[in-house]
Structure 1
Amino acid sequence: MPLTTPQTAVITPTGLHPTRLPFIEELYESLCAQEGVTWEWIVAPNGRRAEPDLIPRAIAKDPRVKVIARPEPGPAPARNTGLNYVEAPRCTFADDDDRLDAPFSLAVRHERATVTGLRWVAGRSADWDSGSGRLSTWMSPTPVGPLAAGEVLDYWPDPLASKPPLGHCMLLTDTALARAVGHGGLHKGEDYAYITGICSRWAGELLPDVVYHRRVHAGQWTAEDSYRDQAEFDARTHAWLKGHAERQLLAEQAVSQAA
């Protein structure tokens, strides 16, 4: 590890599938290109075939990288237990087939969080066709600007009609808050509960800057027709109810403290 504590952490669960190893190298390159902020990368191989020795040597030897292998599969436990090894005061998540946008992806969110004291700051995400290089910015229904605790839910009226109006890889969050909320223990859609837990518990801000490139490719699990099933709809509903419960409890606490 570096002599000084890194300012930000990035956590990546991965099954280390052979087709994704080149993607992991591209994600690493996008991390190395980051400017204006120091970082650590928690790589969490999960699954019995996710042998840490498969990680490219240049990545494994980097002192900024921690490899935390887990024999059981599942991105939710890999993300949650990855938080155990974070030293940085702020953290974010990145999937193993995506990359951070431009050299200031981490810095622009970190700087804004530092200036404002906000517990979470998000940037925008763009779908990225790595074959053609084409980018298409996701026009989230959540508006750019400051957002009160729970306000994100106003832009997600029906969990069965859409996914949450922010993606978890868009957020840079206080590590303490990330640990307090965690990812839902589900085998799909576990990030939905993380998003609503974070955004309903504390105020934050969505920046106009694109900070994340979500790779569009044939191997995407979330793009398969079978992904949208009852389990995924249940995950949406769970996250939506979680967010509203968080907002209700905060409102009741405020009334109690004022009495």
Structure 2
Amino acid sequence: MIAPGSTLAQARQALPLDPLENRILLCHALHLPRVALITQSERVLTDAEAAQVTALVQRRLDGEPIAYITGEREFFGLSFRVTPAVLIPRPDTELIVELALERAAPRSRLLDMGTGSGAIAVAVASNRPYLDVTALDVSEAALAIASENAAANGARVRFLQSDWFAAVGDERFGVIASNPPYIVAGDRHLAEGDLRFEPIDALTDHGDGLAALRTIVDGAPQHLEDGGWLLLEHGYDQAAAVRALLKARGFDEIGSWRDLGNIERVTGGRFGIDRGDDRRIS
């Protein structure tokens, strides 16, 4: 793939990926900053370096996501470590972070359910250091990655291993946010692209795609402060169904918000406004 004695400039031209991916993998394999590809363009690669670059490019040609090859992904302006134990943070999920930041009162409490890499919780805590942020995940491996990401970004987050609300007892929060598994079992996208390499249980509920969303909507009233917000990321065609779940559970101010692709990606609502004992409904 890379001829013996190739320079950095020649290697960039010879690699078969798109220019951005070529640059990322070259920088990662050679431990170089981006500018070095220009300032050191005539540097000759050693045989070992050429072999390392070729091996990484082959992994990408085999379909492995760039984020898993390099072990990192940028999200909300922060760097996150990622492994096949967690989903790769995606730009569309930044929407739920923005909505949570807008709705979280100063020094209030926020709960991130199914945190994975910790993307939502760490992004919120980094931007609002005086919020009390808790993040849950059933996966011990995911929580280990999330904890590393919080530490690396200087974010104060409490992590708990939990099957949805199980570990938070009777605690209440001003905002509950979640990007749960929502892909329908058997959806063709699960066998395509990056999704083939990501943890299946974080992608699908192995059913109709609404099981986790139902669980969260049903349990949220017992864990929201008066007037608290529930924000849920969901599939491209699930907004109406999630709005219906929220309405049936007694939420108010229900709405859906569109992602970068103009798709309704996050749906949410408020609970407990002048509702007295409604939060005890089960």
Higher relative contact order (CA 8 A, sep 6+): 1
Q: TM-score over 0.5 for the alignment?
A: no
Calculate the TM-score normalised by the size of structure 1.
0.31
Calculate the TM-score normalised by the size of structure 2.
0.29
